């Protein structure tokens, strides 16, 4: 999702997700200023395994300072720290 957010992913992957700010019904809301993506509704658990659902679900759960990192190497380092810190407390 980092590569999708910063325009580094191929177009066929980028077309699967859309930002909250891209919705026409949200231009004046505070949620339009976030880096969140829309999670489509699914009717089955199998649908939750699709990239169009799972990618935004994980990206939206990340802290804002993590999703706004400038380079992918810093993002990877902070992501690992974010996941391992609670696990080894």
pLDDT in tens, 3-54: 999 999 999 999 999 888 776 666 666 655 677 898 999 999 999 999 999 9
More confident residue, 30 or 67: 67
pLDDT value, residue 24: 63
* pTM of the model as a whole: 0.81
Give strand pairing partners of 37. Answer: 19
How far apart CA 31 and CA 65 sit, in angstroms, is: 16
């Amino acid at each position: 999702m980092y590569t999708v957010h910063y325009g580094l992913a191929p177009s066929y992957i980028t077309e699967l997700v859309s930002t909250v700010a891209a919705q026409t019904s949200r231009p004046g809301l505070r949620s339009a200023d976030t880096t969140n993506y829309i999670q489509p509704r699914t009717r089955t658990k199998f649908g939750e395994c699709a990239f169009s659902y799972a990618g935004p679900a994980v990206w939206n759960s990340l802290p804002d300072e993590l999703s706004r990192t400038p380079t992918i190497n810093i993002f990877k380092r902070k992501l690992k720290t974010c996941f391992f810190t609670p696990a080894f407390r």
